[in-house]
Amino acid sequence: ISLLLHRYALSNISNQHQISMAPLNVGIVGATGAVGKEIIGCLEKCCSFPIDSLRLFGSKRSAGRKIDTSKFGNITIELFSENSARECDVVFLAVDGDFSLAHAENICKGDDGAIVIDNSSAFRYKE
């Protein structure tokens, strides 16, 4: 993920001009797990990836808990729903492959869907 964010920053710099992009609304599904926490850490360290807001999604067990971040403040974990995730511009999936298979395509479906970055192996060999 760190490499992805670094490539994003480099792709937005031309030889003579900084190409700016509107800040993004970013969501992380599975934010309380090890991978979700790592994604939060990467986003906090990356100063060139423009983020307007960070939304954290989790299960019924995690919903309502608060996570304190240094860059984005105190964030309450929301109960995951595909419709809520679709409100984001970019969604990181830090969940297992079965969950990704069940929800990823619906989150990004259509012109109004979010960009989904899936950390599982669910789509590794799918074209």
pLDDT in tens, 7-30: 444 444 333 344 557 899 999 999
- What is this structure's pTM? 0.82
Q: Is the CA virtual torsion 117, 72, 22, 88 positive or negative?
A: positive
pLDDT in tens, 87-100: 999 999 999 999 99
If you search the block for the tokens 């969940």, which residue do you land on? 95
Higher-scoring residue by pLDDT: 107, 15: 107
pLDDT in tens, 47-98: 778 899 999 999 999 999 999 999 999 999 999 999 999 999 999 999 999 9
Amino acid (one-letter) located at 109: K
Alpha helices for 1-127 (secondary structure H): 2-11, 34-45, 82-86, 97-108
